[in-house]
Amino acid sequence: MTCQLLSRVAFVAALVGAALPAAAIDFNEIARFDISFSSVADLDPDDLIVVDNPQFIGTNALAVAWNGSKLYLGGYDNFGSSLLPIGLIEVLNPTRTGIIELEASDFGTPFGQIFQPVGRGYTGVDLNGGSLAAAYDNGSNTSNAFQLFDTATNSLDWDLTAAGIVARGGASVTFDPGFNGAAASQGVAFTAFGSGRRGLLNESTGALVYSLDGVPAPQGFQWLTDTPPAGNLARDMAFDPATGDVYVRRSNDVDAADRSGDNATTNRRTIVDNGSNGNFKLGQKIEFIGDTAEGDLLIYNDSNVSTTDQAFADVIKIIDTDGNNVEANFNLIGGGSALDIGNGAGIYDFSYDAASGTLAVLDFFNRNVFIFEVGAVVEPVQGDFNGDGKVDNGDLNLLLGNWGSATVPGTWVNGFTAPVDNGELNALLGNWGFGVGVAVPEPASALLLGLAAAAVTARRRK
């Protein structure tokens, strides 16, 4: 028995010194909403009324906002007519789980309704507390390009009339958390095709704080690198809520800038240069996902064409904030993976709620909203004695410190059967390195010798 244990000790020593493959980040589906009802104009094809759905928001939803308890959609007229207005709508009871086909009773009353040209509509929505910001694009400058709604009543608080300007809302909209959370630089952030700067509107009043061109307010900070690759059509932006660092989808690339002040940036750079820019591709989106087990991440959709045969698994990309690819597992209800999500037009939108650790993904073409829990499935893993989601030196230390014991300390929360012996050791060896994205530091040799000594002591007891 002692020889077997000593051989296992040697095996542990070899394992802990070896580099481990990077761990993947898991996206575990907890809900899927079929939102097709809100895109059906004619509820009864047999009657003579061709537009009879009062909850129609557009042929497709292009924008999603999610905060863990509220879910909003922004409508877009992709190929229909202007007989019905596009609009915004709230999905009711969005904390349900499972796969659900939504009906009339699952939606609120549309608001922010606008009659617009074919091929136009809402390009972005974002939630902050009790406020919903929305970006609207009709192909030209308009006073309703950026609007703010009160989520208690879904009523309009302001549009660009309050700022005294007009704009085009083709580049979505989001809330700027400010430089390191500073209130002076918080507000509704926007940019525009060809600009390369961030404008800012006061969340409470809609007043213009920073403009894109310096008129009539001071010019907002630059996010665009000084020497960008070809194309400057921004489509979306996202912020790190802790620092105010900004990440922008521009012509299917990903740009980044570090926040250095309320209205200043440094280290402006392109972290993903896709080469094929797709300047005029609709719906190139991005979202910041912070403080995961793999660090701060970004999710975006890499697509520069409008074909409808694009696979979810090919289009959706996860990167770190330096632009390095991060492996991701999309685990669907029922056991499917990203490969089981229907092909589409490469158009998706994302909304992450840090408080609940959940991500909403809107599938434009297939008219679905997925809700994913971000992070490893919370299930006990054999060998993860301290329950931190990893099988590493922390678990080895617990094993060494309690070898042969019939009781364990409170820090040992998983996988104990008295006494601590080969059963626990086998569990550790079988899953060594689980959940660890880098090489596990080699433990002190004294620890391994301690396990060997424990084996000798156990033999003497017999």
Domain that residue 441 falls in: 2-17+382-461
Average pLDDT, the chain: 88
Q: Are residues 260 and 359 in the same domain?
A: yes
Q: Tell whether 250 and 167 lie within a shared domain.
A: yes
Q: Backbone dihedral region of 365: left (phi > 0), alpha (psi from -120 to 50 degrees) or beta?
A: alpha
Check: CB of residue 217 under 8 Å from CB of residue 187: no
With respect to residue 22, please indicate whether it lies within any of the assigned structural domains. no
pLDDT, average across residues 254-258: 98
217 & 250 share domain: yes
C-beta of residue 112 within 8 angstroms of C-beta of residue 123: no
285, 420: one domain: no
Which CATH number does the domain housing residue 346 bear? 2.120.10.30
Q: Tell me which residue of 302, 363, 373, 366 sits closest to 331, measured CA to CA.
A: 373
Supply the pLDDT for residue 409: 73
The 10s digit of each residue's pLDDT in 315-350 is 999 999 999 999 999 999 999 999 999 999 999 999
Residue 176 CA to residue 183 CA, distance in Å, equals: 10
Domain termination site, one of 330, 352, 374? 374
Specify the pLDDT at position 387: 66
How many Cβ atoms from other residues are within 10 Å of residue 23's Cβ?
19
Verify that 364 and 389 share a domain, yes or no. Answer: no
The per-residue pLDDT for range 102-160, each reduced to its tens digit, is: 999 999 999 999 987 788 999 999 999 999 999 999 999 999 999 999 999 999 999 99
Instruction: Identify whether residues 158 and 286 lie together within a single domain.
Output: yes
Residue 452 has pLDDT above 50, yes or no: no
Least-confidence region, from 47-61, 254-268, 295-309, 359-373:
47-61
State which H helix or E strand residue 316 sits in: strand 316-320
Examine residue 161 and state whether it is found in any structural domain, yes or no. yes
Tell me what pLDDT residue 116 has: 78
**Residue 23, in any domain of the structure:** no
Q: What's the average model confidence in pLDDT over 230-240? A: 94
What pLDDT is recorded for position 449?
46
Contacts of 270 (CB under 8 A, 6+ apart): 225, 228, 229, 253, 254, 255, 256
Cα 40 to Cα 51, 62, 266, distances in angstroms: 9, 15, 47
pLDDT at 275: 76
Point out the domain boundary residue: 374, 397, 426: 374
Task: Please give the C-alpha separations between residue 18 and each of 15, 92, 187, 303, 394, in angstroms, as whole numbers.
Answer: 5, 50, 48, 38, 17
- Number of domains comprising the chain: 2
One domain, residues 449 and 362:
no
Choice between 199 and 411, residue whose per-residue pLDDT is larger: 199
Whether 443 shows a pLDDT value over 80: the answer reads: no
What pLDDT, on the 0 to 100 scale, is given for residue 391? Answer: 87
Residue 445, pLDDT score: 43
Residue that is last in its domain, among 374, 402, 437: 374
338 and 440 part of one domain: no
Q: In the predicted model, what is the mean pLDDT of residues 226-251?
A: 94
Residue 352 shares a structural domain with residue 389? no
Residue 388 and residue 369 in one domain: no
Percent over 90 (pLDDT), the chain: 67
**Are residues 334 and 201 located together in one domain of the fold?**
yes
Cα separation, 63 vs 283, in Å, equals 9
Q: Are residues 366 and 390 in the same domain?
A: no
- Express each pLDDT in 161-185 by its tens digit: 999 999 999 999 999 999 998 888 8
The share of the chain scoring above pLDDT 70, in percent, equals 85
The pLDDT value given to residue 246:
99
Residue 248 lies in a domain: yes
Cβ atoms < 10 Å from Cβ of 261: 14
Write the pLDDT tens digit of every residue in 64-88.
Answer: 999 999 999 999 998 866 678 999 9
